[in-house]
Amino acid sequence: MPAKQNQEAGITHDGLFYPEARLHEMHDMMLFIRRFEEKAGQLYGLKKIGGFCHLCNGQEAVCVGLHQASEPSDYMMTSYRDHGHILARGTDATAVMAELLGKAGGVVKGKGGSMHMFDIEKNFAGGNGIVGEQVPIGLGFGFSSWYKDDGRVTICIMGDGGINQGAVYESFNMAALWKLPIVFVVENNQYAMGTSLERASAETQLFKRGISFKIPGMKIDGMDVLEFEKKMREAIEHARSGKGPMLVEAMTYRYRGHSMSDPATYRTRAEVDEWRSGRDPIARLQAQMIEAGLATEEHFKQVDKDIKKEVAAIGKAAEAQPEPDASELWTDIYSDPIENAYPYPGKVN
């Protein structure tokens, strides 16, 4: 180990050194996402958030690991389970909460809601509501990097449900054929809505799904943020170096139902508890940091308190925002404002 790293406090995982400050950053963001999602669930229960709302509790290490392993200039897109990813990417949390509440200050002006989070400044291209739809779109982002030779990598995220869509294989084929710089990430949380992986997939080792396209696959523990981050770096490096796409299967678990209306009767309480108490990514990192002498239990308790307070304040601030102006109904459809007003809104002849 290099001398410098010996002098600095941190954790070395699989040969990669994580300095103390970064560990805290990763921990705090995972916990922030957890508490943010809990708040969203609460606001949904109060009927302040409407429609579909898919929470990512339990999958925080994947969100944070992907962001930490990639460059801010890299492109990222995912499905509708998108809150954690856009928060990890660094988008203003109040704007994300305001979007959930359908407010004017929402990240997409209240026009998208839970499933359609976008932040072009952070190169976050959705928030796509049709299962698997983001995969050909990710292919296009990867294509643009190949066309422009801009050195960017596209991180295209899907679930274990999404990977069964035909569009995914059309995309795998072209990505491999043209050696596009894309890392396809499957968040395997074991259930596509209520259908378990075993009931939906002939090949349950999803990282092998790229084999017939000559796309190498990696299966990574998505409940261990350091392990996931480290391996993701390798996958991203593979894509960035011009070797073509990579398929990553992130083993993870969602603690909540598919969406807010899902009581998750298709799995046992014992199974959920096993993941929650035995493999929780936040508890795991906390334990690692305590063992390394980088933090105490009291510290984490205080951080949690502070984050809960912060999230409560974010909820309040977002709730206090006005709804979008009625004129927003007709904007952002076409570039030409005259066409946006077509035919004659609110008027009869």
Partner 1 sequence: MSKITYREALNQAMVEEMRRDDRVFLMGEEVAEYNGAYKVSQGMLEKFGPKRVIDTPITELGFAGLGVGAAMAGLRPVIEFMTWNFAILALDQIVNAAAKMKYMSGGQYSCPMVFRGAGGSAARVGAQHSQSLENWLANVPGLKVVMPSNPADAKGLLKAAIRDNDTVVFIENEINYGDVGEVPDDEYIIPLGVADVKRVGSDVTIVAHSRMTGFALAAAKILAEQGIEAEVIDPRTIRPLDENTILASVAKTHCAVVVEEGWRFAGIGAEISARIMERGFDDLDSPVIRVTGKDVPMPYAANLEALAVPSVTDIVEAARVACGRA
User: In this complex, which beta carbon is closest to partner 1, that of residue 107 or of residue 307?
Assistant: 107
Taking the complex as a whole, the smallest distance from the CB of residue 268 to partner 1 amounts, in Å, to 35
106 binding partner 1? (CB under 8 A): yes
CB 116, min distance to partner 1, A: 4
Q: Taking a C-beta distance cutoff of 8 angstroms, is the pair 65, 228 a contact? A: yes
- By beta-carbon proximity to partner 1, the closer residue of 130 and 287 is 130
Total of residues contacting partner 1 (CB under 8 A): 49
Complex with partner 1: residue 3 or 348, whichever CB lies closer: 348
Sole binder of partner 1 in the list 312, 337, 339, 345 (CB under 8 A)? 339
In whole angstroms, the minimum distance from the beta carbon of 107 to partner 1 comes to 7
- Note whether 105 and 177 are within 8 A (CB): no
CB of 204 to partner 1, least distance (A): 24
Q: Say whether residue 336 binds partner 1 (CB under 8 A).
A: yes
147 binds partner 1 (CB under 8 A): yes
Q: Which one, of 57, 93, 27, lies nearest residue 226 by Cα?
A: 27
Listed ranges 42-50, 210-218, 219-227, 336-344: which one lies at the site for partner 1 (CB under 8 A): 336-344
Binding flags for partner 1, 112-131, as an x/- string (CB under 8 A): x---x-xxx----xxxxxx-
CA 245 from centroid of its chain's CA atoms = 19
CA 115 – CA 96 distance, rounded (Å): 11
As given in the structure block, the two tokens for residue 191 are 């259930």
Decide if 107 contacts 95 (C-beta within 8 A). Answer: yes
Binding mask 290-319 for partner 1 (x = CB under 8 A): ------------------------------
Identify whether 127 is preceded by a cis peptide bond (ω within 30 of 0). yes
> Toward partner 1, which CB reaches closer, 17 or 143?
143
Cβ–Cβ under 8 Å, residues 73 and 123 = yes
| Partner residues linked to 19 by β-bridges | 10
Q: Of residues 144, 195, 196, 259, which one binds partner 1 by CB under 8 A?
A: 144
Selected range binding partner 1 among 11-19, 28-36, 170-178, 275-283, rule: CB under 8 A: 170-178
From 66-74, 189-197, 308-316, 330-338, span contacting partner 1 (CB under 8 A): 330-338
> Considering the rule CB under 8 A, would residue 174 count as an interface residue with partner 1?
yes
Report the residue number, 24 or 240, with the smaller CB distance to partner 1.
240
Distance (Å, whole) CA 301 – CA 278: 19
* Shortest CB 212 distance to partner 1, Å: 13
Q: Which residues bind partner 1 (CB under 8 A)?
A: 75, 77, 106-112, 116, 118-120, 125-130, 133, 135-145, 147-148, 166-167, 170-171, 173-174, 177, 331-336, 339, 342, 349
